[in-house]
Amino acid sequence: GFIFQGFNLLPDLNLFDNVDVPLRYRGLPAAQRRERIESALARVGLGARQKHYPAELSGGQQQRVAIARALAGQPRLLLADEPTGNLDSMMARGVMDLLEEINDQGTTIIMVTHDPELAARAQRNVHIIDGQVSEVERGPQLGRREATTDPNAAAA
């Protein structure tokens, strides 16, 4: 599955139909698509907004639709390009919490970020400079979850 930095939602389609697009291309039956779409939107907290359009949502909600679209395909691998890049810090933490939950349920996530606070929540960090791997950090969690649960911690 893919999560793009710019959401890539189709403005003329409601949330249900935006999540449906990749499933249609996969040729899934309508009943199976409906079940997956409803489940994915509920999982990201937007189950009641299926008929809303992207313009009616905040940036954080639009990003959650993009995540739902990726999840509906039930990927084992999720590629996320700056999934929090267009969000304020509070929305970014919410999206990261959701990605951690998805990871805890067995989906591998490869995420690109320039935000060290978010990178600290990963299980492994690979630093790339000028196209070359410069450093690999591994750890039991690299401070996962604890790194950003307190918004005032960075100020201390």
Q: Quickly list DSSP for 56-72.
A: GS-HHHHHHHHHHHHHH
127 DSSP 8-state letter: E
Contact (Cβ atoms closer than 8 angstroms) between residue 19 and residue 48: no
Other Cβ atoms within 10 Å of 97 Cβ, number? 14
Mean pLDDT of 44-67: 94
29 DSSP 8-state letter: -
Lookup result for tokens 């939602």:
9
Mean pLDDT of 74-101: 87
110-140: pLDDT as tens digits: 999 888 888 888 889 998 899 999 889 885 5
Using a cut of 0.85, tell me whether the model's pTM lies above it: no
Strand partners, 80: 3, 111
Please state, in angstroms and rounded to a whole number, the distance separating the CA atoms of residues 100 and 109. Answer: 9
Q: Phi/psi zone of residue 131: left (φ > 0), alpha (ψ -120 to 50 degrees), beta?
A: left
Largest CA distance in the chain: 53
Q: If you average pLDDT over each of 84-93, 126-135, 142-151, which comes out highest?
A: 126-135
- Structural domains of the chain ordered from first start: 2-155 (3.40.50.300)
Residue 151: the pLDDT is: 41
Q: Mean pLDDT over all residues of the chain?
A: 86
Mean pLDDT of 27-45: 95
Rg (CA), the chain: 16
Number of residues assigned to the chain? 156
**Percentage of the chain exceeding pLDDT 90:** 53
Contact (Cβ atoms closer than 8 angstroms) between residue 90 and residue 152: no
